[in-house]
Amino acid sequence: MPQMRISEAASLLGVSDDTVRRWIDAGRLPAAQDGSGRRVVDGVDVARVAQENAAAQASRPEHTSARNQFRGLVTRVLSDQVMSQVELQCGPYRVVSLISTEAVRELGLEPGVVTTARVKATNVVLEN
């Protein structure tokens, strides 16, 4: 397995070297010594911790600067292997979003699901 130094693991995990050392001391991240006596960690263990951290982040409440939010009901999902078109009915308004099929699966989007569309645009066209 590929091994890396603590500083490299910390950089990949987006934390300080000291945090990685604490995780090693706590048993969260197994470590070994390389031929020079430096502590190293296996890449597969770093990947596991990265996934755990991402899952923990995803479960936290989200803060956003998007002020235009439309709560609605998914009415249609058209997917191919890579991209999906998701249609929502938000009151009298139809909102269409193009997102990855992976995101559709992760969010559990299918007709009948209630979700929120958040819109942040640099260009808005108004008509009278």
pLDDT in tens, 5-19: 999 999 888 889 999
Q: How far apart are CA 73 and CA 96, in angstroms?
A: 11
- Sheet of strand 39-42, all strands in order from the earlier edge strand to the far edge: 3-5, 39-42, 32-33
The SS3 of residue 124 is coil
**Which residues does residue 119 pair with via DSSP β-bridges, in sequence order?**
68
The SS3 of residue 113 is coil
Q: Which CATH class is domain 3-59?
A: mainly alpha
pLDDT in tens, 35-86: 899 999 999 999 899 888 877 776 666 677 777 888 889 999 999 999 999 9
Question: In the CATH scheme, what is the code of domain 68-119?
Answer: 2.40.50.100
Contact 88, 72 (CB under 8 A): yes
Percent of the chain with pLDDT over 90: 52
Residue 8, pLDDT score: 92
Model's pTM, two decimal places? 0.53
Residue 1, pLDDT score: 62
Q: DSSP state, 15?
A: S
User: CATH topology of 3-59 equal to that of 68-119?
Assistant: no
Residue type, 10: A
User: Mean pLDDT for the chain?
Assistant: 88
Domain residue limits, the chain: 3-59, 68-119
The phi, psi pair for 126, rounded to 5°, reads -110, 145
